[in-house]
Amino acid sequence: MSADNKQPTHTAFAFSRQGKKFGKLLECGSGRVDRQSNLVHVFMDRGPITGYTGYIVLSPIGAAPPEIEPPTSDEIDDEDDLSPSQDER
């Protein structure tokens, strides 16, 4: 395998949970797909401080991460309210 094939081709994003149903993808490193050996190599140079679920997604360099569908109003409950409580204001 040449050195050119070892260059990153993708940006790695890690899912950080915020509440039970909310979260976002945070950039956490890079990766490449090795089609000869059918392996994916990921280098994480940082990670979410809290709420890390272990889920990582690769997106081609320069492309936005996939959209995360927000929960519907039927799925939202009081425990997922991310606004500060009266005591925290």
Residue 58's CB: how many other CB atoms inside 10 A?
21
82: left (phi over 0), alpha (psi -120 to 50) or beta: alpha
Q: How far apart are CA 54 and CA 21, in angstroms?
A: 15
User: Global pTM?
Assistant: 0.69
Condensed to tens digits (0 to 9), the pLDDT of residues 37-57 reads: 999 999 999 988 888 888 889
Whether 35 shows a pLDDT value over 50: the answer reads yes
Model confidence at 33, pLDDT cuts 50, 70, 90, reads very high
Question: pLDDT tens digit string along 59-84?
Answer: 999 999 888 765 555 554 545 444 44
Cα→Cα distances 78→4, 36, 50, Å: 51, 49, 20
